[in-house]
Amino acid sequence: MIDEILSHLPYKSSFRFVDHITELREDGVIGDYTLKPDSFFYEDHFVGNPVTPGVIITEIMAQIGLVVLGIYLIVKENNFRFDPDDPTLPLFTSTDISFHKMVLPGEKVTVVSEKQYFRFGKLKCYVEMRDSAGDIVAKGMFSGIVKKMDIKNG
């Protein structure tokens, strides 16, 4: 099931920040991503001293901790089947994050998400990102909604 969920993530390769899902259950998800040193956002952030932008850290946390879990819950709850002509996707709507450490190019980060609730199409999760030493990089609450999307026309 994990491979099916990952194949339906709504991101192209340059903006997909999920390498592996190591645990996926109704109340949470654990996954990881290794930041590619040649990623587009390092070119100018910061010249000569690349650091992962906070918005990318947020996006990694949202993709693993909210979108992957949201797709899983939709599939499980509704016996949902993916229809490329009528996609239903979990969308990131709000966050409250605190940042604790920098993430450098080439680092592997692990995201751990614990579901707070999933009801009426809204998912709320507590999400942490840790570096390879196990230290917290960022943590916070993420929320999203389940919405039908017309991806072809935006």
Q: How many CB atoms lie within 10 A of CB 40?
A: 11
Whether 45 is catalytic: yes
Backbone angles phi, psi at 46, to 5 degrees: -115, 145
Tokens matching residue 33: 């991503």
Q: How far apart are CA 25 and CA 32, in angstroms?
A: 16
Q: How far apart are CA 21 and CA 31, in angstroms?
A: 4
Q: How many CA atoms lie within 13 A of 64 on its CB side?
A: 29
Question: Are 142 and 66 a contacting pair, CB within 8 Å?
Answer: yes
Q: Which of 8, 20, 45, 100 is catalytic?
A: 45
Q: DSSP state, 102?
A: -
Q: How many CB atoms lie within 10 A of CB 116?
A: 13
Q: Which residues are catalytic?
A: 45
